[in-house]
Amino acid sequence: MNIECVVVGPFEVNSYLVFNPTDEEALVVDPGADADLLLDALRRYRRRTAAYLLTHGHSDHVGALAELCRVFPAPVVMHALDAQWAFTEANQLPPYYPVPGAPPDPPCVVADGDTRTDGPFRYRVIATPGHSPGGVSFYFPEEGVLFSGDTLFQGSVGRTDLPGGDPRALARSLQRLEILPDATRVYPGHGPATTLGIEKRTNFFMRSAAP
């Protein structure tokens, strides 16, 4: 599995392109802004999109989605609780982010424990609310990879003071992630990649959430 991180937008969101060297399809995780950069990356690797995976609905993580869908149509995967408001006026952050454009087709809503196959990739949905009501993490067990969105960062976690945030729910979400193998590589929504083993040992928030 190849993972390219493209940092986009004024909030420096990590958007990811996920692909295998021998396959023609890629996954795009959290296309937050700067659609031209993401389109250039897809064209550079000569990949078409198998699916767009949204860890949550905040505008800094979905702002480029509509434009990418117009060029490379593909299913949009997100939790129903965030799909309800992600493309409405409730989700603008002026002056940084306007109301995100909606994809042409309704999202493929997922729930905790769902397993999906998009292109050559098979992954599991882990509900990780707290930063947002419908936050999810995408776990690829065969590759040992987790896209954690704004639930878990290197040395920190996502904020819970935005509308729909819930610190207790976030603590429970961290407990759910803690059971994954230590070697799992974590690709967060902001900042550098890490591993679950490192976060279990050094992340104050994860250690505090341990049962």
Per-residue pLDDT in tens (0 to 9) along the chain, 211 residues: 999 999 999 999 999 999 998 888 999 999 999 999 999 999 998 888 999 999 999 999 999 999 999 999 999 999 999 999 999 999 999 999 999 999 999 999 999 999 999 999 999 999 999 999 999 999 999 999 999 999 999 999 999 999 999 999 999 999 999 999 999 999 999 999 999 999 999 999 998 877 7
Residue 181 · residue 144 · CB < 8 Å: yes
- In angstroms, the CA 126 to CA 54 distance is 12
* Per-residue pLDDT, 101: 96
- In angstroms, the CA 116 to CA 103 distance is 20
The domain that holds 158 is classified in CATH as: 3.60.15.10
In the structure encoding, which two tokens stand for residue 33, read together? 């802004």
* Per-residue pLDDT, 34: 97
* Per-residue pLDDT, 208: 87
- Per DSSP, the residues of 52-105 read EE-S---HHHHTTHHHHHHHS---EEEEHHHHTTTTSGGG-BTTTB-PPPPPSS
* Per-residue pLDDT, 209: 79
The domain containing residue 51 runs over which residues?
A: 2-209
- Per DSSP, the residues of 188-211 read ESSS--EEHHHHHHH-HHHHHH--
CA torsion through residues 133, 188, 153, 99, sign: negative
Could you tell me where the DSSP H helices lie in 77-178? 80-83, 167-178
**How many domains is the chain built from?**
1
